């Protein structure tokens, strides 16, 4: 079953038009191609609720639940009222545990002060791109690939240079692809 979504143009204009009508300024950076993963998810969930058999391939959700130990710790925190904001980068204990995990499982030593905990990958991409690049920098992005990279980079005023990889390159960047696009 194919899900039909509106065109990129109508998606953007439909959502921005009410703001323009009320005299609100619309930033140029908002004129990026939409990232439809959540809309595809919503449509797929509606189809599933209607009894259709859906194979979800739209978002990077894990195919397993949380470990029992994590669930129990969360329940205890909720019961004890131990809620509230943490340090912006994550608690030192949590960041240290992540660093130990990388050393234990991957043999990679990462100082805990180099670990940042975010509430999802997209927030992490935004922070990493802000730290690494300046406005108008050129960034090579493999296509096909995760659309959010292109959207976030464009919204930050960066120039996306597509690296068109296919079966010949096993959909991976290669030295030849980088040389073909010229200086970045």
Per-residue model confidence as pLDDT tens digits over 68-88: 999 999 999 899 987 888 899
Q: What are phi and psi of 143, to 5 degrees?
A: -125, 135
Highest mean pLDDT pick, 34-48, 94-108, 119-133: 94-108
Task: Place 8 in a pLDDT band, splitting at 50, 70 and 90.
Answer: very low
Domain ranges of the chain: 1-55, 88-117, 120-184
Cα–Cα distance list, 17 to 13, 164, 173 (Å): 6, 34, 39
Per-residue model confidence as pLDDT tens digits over 104-143: 999 999 999 999 999 888 889 999 999 999 999 999 999 9
Answer left, alpha or beta for residue 51, where phi above 0 means left and psi between -120 and 50 means alpha: left
């Amino acid at each position: 079953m194919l899900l039909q979504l509106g065109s990129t143009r109508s998606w953007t204009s439909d959502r921005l038009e009410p703001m323009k009508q009320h005299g609100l300024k619309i930033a140029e950076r908002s004129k990026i191609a939409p990232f439809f993963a959540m809309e595809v998810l919503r449509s797929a969930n509606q189809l599933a609720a209607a009894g259709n058999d859906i194979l979800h391939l739209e978002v990077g959700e894990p195919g397993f639940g949380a470990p029992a130990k994590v669930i129990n710790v969360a329940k205890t925190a909720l019961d004890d009222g131990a809620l509230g904001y943490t340090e912006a980068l994550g608690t030192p204990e949590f960041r240290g545990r992540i660093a130990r995990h990388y050393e234990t499982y991957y043999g990679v030593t990462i100082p805990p002060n180099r670990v940042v905990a975010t509430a999802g990958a997209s927030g992490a991409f935004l922070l990493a791109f802000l730290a690494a690049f300046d406005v108008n920098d050129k960034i090579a992005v493999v296509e096909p690939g995760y659309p959010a990279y292109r959207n976030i980079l464009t919204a930050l005023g960066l120039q996306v240079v597509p690296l068109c990889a296919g079966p010949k390159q096993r959909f991976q960047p290669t030295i030849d692809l980088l040389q073909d696009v010229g200086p970045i």
